[in-house]
């Protein structure tokens, strides 16, 4: 009988041990399952983060390339505009008489003072302006008017610089068809 009791106790212990093993095995399997799910979520999140980072890098790269292209395009436009104005200057310098004659019209008639002219402008200015002292010696094409209260710069380069500043937007619209 004691042997039967001991056998029952041993059998009960083994049943409990087996039940604990099964329970532990189920817990281990559940933990493995959760770990795999968590790992899969973490991997998916990492992939999404990496994709987002790559998308941002690509967008940044494309924006940078667009800025460079825009800069190059503007640089090319500016070069063309510079060439146009340089051509205008060259054409005027080749034969400045008409241009100088037009500039002389802007000199106020009631002033007294002196005018310093380039060699080509001297005869034109002398023939049109009688109330001021007119002399040569200006190295740059055109003339300078100096009075007690006013200095006027009619050098061709300066006049064209002012015209360019005022009319450059219109020239750009004409050249590049921008409305």
DSSP letters of 137-154? Answer: --SSSEEEEEESS-EEEE
3-state SS of 59-98 is HHHHHHHHHHHHHHHHHHHHHHHHHHHHHHHHHHHHCCHH
Residue range 5-15: mean pLDDT, rounded: 68
Name the average pLDDT for the chain: 89
User: pLDDT digit string (tens) for 36-58?
Assistant: 989 889 999 999 999 999 999 99
9: confidence class by pLDDT, cuts 50, 70, 90: low
Give the model's pLDDT for residue 126.
93
CB 143 within 8 A of CB 125: yes
Pick 10 or 75 by higher pLDDT: 75
- Cα 142 from Cα 162, distance rounded (Å): 14
Q: The pTM is what?
A: 0.62
Q: Are strands 133-135 and 151-155 parallel, antiparallel or unpaired?
A: unpaired
What residue ranges do the domains of the chain occupy?
Answer: 1-94, 96-176
- 25-29 long-range contacts, Cβ below 8 Å, gap at least 24? none
Q: Is the pLDDT of residue 133 over 70?
A: yes
Residue % of the chain over a pLDDT of 70: 93
110: confidence class by pLDDT, cuts 50, 70, 90: confident
Q: Are strands 133-135 and 113-117 parallel, antiparallel or unpaired?
A: parallel
105: confidence class by pLDDT, cuts 50, 70, 90: very high
Give the CATH number of domain 96-176. Answer: 3.30.2320.30
């Amino acid at each position: 009988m004691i042997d039967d009791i001991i056998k029952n106790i041993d059998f009960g212990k083994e049943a409990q041990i087996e039940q604990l093993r099964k329970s532990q095995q189920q817990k281990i399997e559940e933990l493995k399952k959760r770990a795999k799910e968590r790992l899969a979520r973490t991997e998916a999140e990492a992939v999404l983060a990496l994709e987002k980072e790559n998308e941002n890098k690509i967008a940044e790269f494309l924006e940078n390339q667009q800025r460079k292209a825009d800069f190059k395009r503007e640089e090319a436009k500016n070069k063309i505009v510079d060439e146009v104005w340089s051509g205008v200057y060259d054409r005027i310098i080749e034969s400045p008489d008409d241009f100088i004659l037009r500039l002389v019209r802007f000199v106020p008639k009631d002033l007294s003072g002196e005018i310093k002219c380039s060699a080509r402008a001297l005869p034109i200015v002398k023939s049109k302006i009688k109330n001021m002292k007119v002399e040569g010696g200006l190295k740059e094409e055109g003339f300078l008017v100096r009075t007690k209260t006013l200095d006027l710069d009619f050098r061709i380069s300066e006049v064209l610089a002012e015209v360019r500043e005022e009319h450059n937007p219109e020239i750009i619209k004409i050249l590049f068809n921008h409305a």
